């Protein structure tokens, strides 16, 4: 760029610190992030920005760190309306005796609309700019996300048995194909297929899942190796571990996202390596349900891409990805027996570029680089109890609270300004949530 060439930009953000994620482990100081339209135009020294850019709007964030928006790679958004409803129970008891009956009683389009909006409000407020969802009435969740302007991978559910959304595999797949048709190619909504788990989906529907995924070029996200019981039951019934079964069916590919993976051995890791499949780690849900521990450090050393997710608010009980990143970093050290495992920078990468890789969108998301989509957040580190700040990456993972997210942009559009949501009517949403809470409380305790 010529020194005397002035370039127009829409937004200039002057940041005390910038963590671009790539190059890895870098913290830049006194940088300007320039946004033009829906893209990042440049990340340059503020003095260089003075010489080369003229912006319509300038934001001075002199106490803040700016980084890419976080990517929450697994959740069930509308389950936020079940937050705290059935705590301190093992997974299968939680599912069979509480969650599945409650879903049958309450989940409809209105539940999905209000529950998804509540989840999106929480995620935006705590730094997430892209999320992955696997739940009923995915067409409603997709509309809510699109209307709000948040990116979302929407995986339609698939199970052997009927639910409120479909009567069986044939209807799940037919409705799912319509979802893909509606949203494929959209900038915000990324449709995908969400077969629930190997123990709830038989071989026939899994083969049809693969055929649809290949035909439409969409990803598959599946709960896999979540508990020791799941693995032992599969071995008892078929003689094969669930990962081996999926590999034999052809379902492990570079567009497959394997959620949980708490019970894995060397053979599972070899299958992940060979296939290029991704792992989505949900540390807090796995801890709370006592499901097990994903060996993140071992997987990363084997070259497996590990992204991160919160799971649903019914088993977490929040959708705060910064909290999840902290839990992941701490847990990885204990599991590996190594205090150097999953450093602060590596943990932040899990929540950004690793998620982008799992989505197949690493060329557009996950780092702060010129030409990428303008999905970014700012976190205020001026709180007295965050002082002194020697290393902002360390603070983001180990010290700060996600409510210090002060600003958020998706596609260059402000979503959070000075801690306030710009696209969601919070008072109206709270009235709706309260109505659901009263209805669920009355039926459960009446």
pLDDT on residue 444: 56
Look up the CATH superfamily of 70-359. Metal-dependent hydrolases (3.20.20.140)
Do residues 2 and 48 touch, judged by C-beta distance below 8 A? no
Instruction: Determine how many CB atoms are found less than 10 A away from the CB of residue 387.
Output: 11
Mean per-residue pLDDT for 70-98?
Answer: 92
Residue 1 has pLDDT above 60, yes or no: no
Across all residues in the chain, what is the average pLDDT? 95
- CA-to-CA distance for 124 and 423, rounded, in angstroms? 10
pLDDT on residue 3: 52
Q: Annotate 85-95 with b (16+ C-beta within 10 A) or e (fewer).
A: bbeebebeebb
Mean per-residue pLDDT for 30-52?
Answer: 97
Which residue in 254, 251, 252 sits closest to 271, CA to CA? 252
pTM comes to 0.97
Mean per-residue pLDDT for 359-388?
Answer: 97
pLDDT bin (cut points 50, 70, 90) of residue 443 is: low
Tokens standing for residue 199: 């123990």
Do residues 313 and 119 touch, judged by C-beta distance below 8 A? yes
Q: What share of the chain is helix, strand, coil (3-state, %, to 5)?
A: 45, 25, 35
- CA-to-CA distance for 36 and 343, rounded, in angstroms? 33
Residue 43 has pLDDT above 80, yes or no: yes
Domain boundaries, the chain: 7-68+374-411, 70-359
- CA-to-CA distance for 90 and 289, rounded, in angstroms? 5
pLDDT on residue 4: 63
Half-sphere exposure of 198 (CA within 13 A, CB side): 29
Look up the CATH superfamily of 7-68+374-411. Urease, subunit C, domain 1 (2.30.40.10)
Phi, psi (deg, nearest 5) at residue 253 = -140, 175
For the segment 248-277, what is each residue's pLDDT rounded down to a tens digit? 999 999 999 999 999 999 999 999 999 999
pLDDT on residue 446: 43
Question: What contacts 62, CB < 8 A, 6 or more positions away?
Answer: 14, 16
Mean per-residue pLDDT for 211-227?
Answer: 97
């Amino acid at each position: 760029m010529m020194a005397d060439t002035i370039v127009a930009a829409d937004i200039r953000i002057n940041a005390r610190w910038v963590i671009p994620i790539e190059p890895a482990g870098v913290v830049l100081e006194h940088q300007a992030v320039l946004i033009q339209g829906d893209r990042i135009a440049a990340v340059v020294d503020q003095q260089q920005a003075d010489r080369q850019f003229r912006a319509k709007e300038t934001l001075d964030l002199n106490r803040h760190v700016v980084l890419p928006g976080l990517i929450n790679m697994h959740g069930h958004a509308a389950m936020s309306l079940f937050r705290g409803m059935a705590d301190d129970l093992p997974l299968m008891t939680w599912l069979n005796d509480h969650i599945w009956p409650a879903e049958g009683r309450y989940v409809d389009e209105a539940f999905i609309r209000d529950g998804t909006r509540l989840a999106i409000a929480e995620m935006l407020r705590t730094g997430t700019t892209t999320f992955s969802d696997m739940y009923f009435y995915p067409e409603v969740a997709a509309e809510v996300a699109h209307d709000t302007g948040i990116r979302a991978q929407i995986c339609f559910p698939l199970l052997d048995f009927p639910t409120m959304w479909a009567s069986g595999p044939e209807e799940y797949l037919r409705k799912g194909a319509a979802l893909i048709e509606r949203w494929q190619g959209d900038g915000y909504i990324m449709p995908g297929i969400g077969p629930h788990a190997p123990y709830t989906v038989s071989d026939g529907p899994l083969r049809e899942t693969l055929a649809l995924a290949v035909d439409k070029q969409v990803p598959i996200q599946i709960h896999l190796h979540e508990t020791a019981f799941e693995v032992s039951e599969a071995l008892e019934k078929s003689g094969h571990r669930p990962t081996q079964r999926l590999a034999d069916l052809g379902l492990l590919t570079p567009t497959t996202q394997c959620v949980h993976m708490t019970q894995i051995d060397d053979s599972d890791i070899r299958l992940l390596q060979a296939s290029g499949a991704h792992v989505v780690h949900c540390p807090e849900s796995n801890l709370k349900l006592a499901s097990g521990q994903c060996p993140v450090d071992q997987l990363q050393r084997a070259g497996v891409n590990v992204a991160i997710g919160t799971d649903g608010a019914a088993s977490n009980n929040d959708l705060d990805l910064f909290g999840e990143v902290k839990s992941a970093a701490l847990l990885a050290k204990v599991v590996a027996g190594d205090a150097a495992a999953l450093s602060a920078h590596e943990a932040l990468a899990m929540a950004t570029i690793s998620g982008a890789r799992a989505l197949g969108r690493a060329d557009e998301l996950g780092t702060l680089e010129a030409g990428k989509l303008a999905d970014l957040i700012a976190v205020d580190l001026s709180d007295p109890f965050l002082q002194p700040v020697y290393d902002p990456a360390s603070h983001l993972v180990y010290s700060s609270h996600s409510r210090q997210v002060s600003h958020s942009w998706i596609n260059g559009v402000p979503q959070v300004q000075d801690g306030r949501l710009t696209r969601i009517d919070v008072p109206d949403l709270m009235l709706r949530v309260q109505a659901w809470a009263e209805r669920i409380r009355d039926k459960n305790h009446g």
